[in-house]
C-alpha cells in the first residue's frame, strides 16, 4: 500500500510541476503584454514621450496602472488586504489612487495623473485617456454599483469629476473641470457644471481641445443678449 502511494506521488509530481510552471509562464506573458500595451498607449498619445524606456521608468501614470494590475489580481483572488496595500503604496508613490476592485481595459493613458481617483466599482473600457485631477467617483447615495462606467476611446479632461453609476458612452469627451452627473451619449462632448452635452453628429470626435470648446450656457446667453440688443434697436 505504501509502495503504491509512493508511486502515485512520484508519478504526479512532474505533472504538478509542469502545470505550476506553465501557470507562472502564462502570468508573466500576460503581464508583459499588458506593459507593452500600456507603453504603446503613451507613445501614441503623448508627443513628449521619447522612448519606451523613458515611459517605463519615469511615467507615474504607467507605474500606477502596473501597480493596479497587480492589486487587481490580488483583489480577484480575495486577498483584499494585500490588494489595498499595493494600491495605497502606489498612491503615495504616484499621487494616483486606483481602487483594486475597479475594472480597467487595455490602453489606459493617465497623463501626468496627480490627483486622479478611480473608485471601486468603476469600469473603464479600452484606449481611454484621463488627465490630472480627474475623479471617477460616487455621490454617496448609491449602493452596489456606485461609480461610473467609461466606454471605449473616452477622454476625460483635467480636473473633471464624473460622479455616479452611469455610463459615458464610446468616443465621448469630458471637458476640463466639468462635473458630470448623468449619462453621456456616444460621440458627444460634456461641458460645464453640471455638465451639458454637445452632440457631435454620430462621428468619432477629434482630440480634445480643452481651451476652444463650446460652452452651451455661454452660447445661450449670447443668443439672449443678441435678441435684447435687436429689440432695443427696434424700440429706438
* CATH assignment at residue 159: 2.160.10.10
Residue 154, domain extent = 102-230
Residue listed under C-alpha cell 473641470:
177
User: Which pLDDT band, with edges at 50, 70 and 90, does 140 fall under?
Assistant: confident
What pLDDT was estimated at residue 233? 72
Give the C-alpha separation, 37 to 69, whole Å. 13
Beta-sheet strands, E only, within 131-223: 135-137, 149-150, 155-156, 161-163, 167-168, 173-174, 179-180, 188-191, 196-199
**155: β partners:** 129, 173
The count of structural domains within the chain is 1
**191 occurs within a structural domain:** yes
What pLDDT was estimated at residue 21? 64
**154 occurs within a structural domain:** yes
**35 occurs within a structural domain:** no
Q: What SS3 state is found at 180?
A: strand
pTM of the model: 0.73
Sheet holding 173-174, edge to edge: 109-110, 129-130, 155-156, 173-174, 188-191, 196-199
**123 occurs within a structural domain:** yes
**174 occurs within a structural domain:** yes
Rounded mean pLDDT, 192-216: 64
Q: Output b/e per residue, 71-83; b: 16+ Cβ within 10 A.
A: bbbbbeeeeeeeb
**46 occurs within a structural domain:** no
DSSP assignment, residue 159? T
What pLDDT was estimated at residue 200? 61
Amino acid at each position: 500500500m505504501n509502495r503504491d502511494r509512493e508511486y502515485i506521488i512520484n508519478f504526479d509530481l512532474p505533472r504538478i510541476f509542469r502545470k505550476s510552471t506553465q501557470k507562472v509562464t502564462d502570468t508573466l506573458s500576460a503581464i508583459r503584454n499588458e506593459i507593452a500595451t500600456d507603453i504603446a498607449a503613451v507613445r501614441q498619445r503623448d508627443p513628449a514621450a521619447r522612448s519606451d524606456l523613458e515611459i517605463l521608468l519615469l511615467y507615474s501614470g504607467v507605474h500606477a496602472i502596473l501597480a493596479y494590475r497587480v492589486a487587481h489580481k490580488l483583489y480577484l483572488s480575495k486577498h483584499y488586504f494585500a490588494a489595498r496595500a499595493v494600491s495605497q503604496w502606489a498612491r503615495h508613490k504616484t499621487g494616483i489612487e486606483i481602487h483594486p476592485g475597479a475594472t480597467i481595459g487595455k490602453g489606459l493613458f493617465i497623463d501626468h495623473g496627480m490627483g486622479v481617483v478611480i473608485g471601486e466599482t468603476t469600469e473603464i473600457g479600452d484606449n481611454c485617456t484621463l488627465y490630472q485631477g480627474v475623479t471617477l467617483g460616487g455621490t454617496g447615495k448609491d449602493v452596489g454599483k456606485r461609480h461610473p462606467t467609461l466606454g471605449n476611446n473616452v477622454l476625460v479632461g483635467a480636473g473633471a469629476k464624473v460622479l455616479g453609476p452611469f455610463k459615458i458612452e464610446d468616443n465621448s469627451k469630458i471637458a476640463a473641470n466639468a462635473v458630470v452627473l448623468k449619462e453621456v451619449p456616444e460621440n458627444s462632448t460634456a461641458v460645464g457644471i453640471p455638465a451639458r452635452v454637445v452632440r457631435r453628429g454620430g462621428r468619432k470626435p477629434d482630440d480634445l481641445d480643452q481651451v476652444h470648446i463650446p460652452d452651451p450656457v455661454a452660447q445661450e446667453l449670447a443668443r439672449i443678449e443678441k435678441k435684447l440688443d435687436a429689440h432695443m434697436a427696434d424700440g429706438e
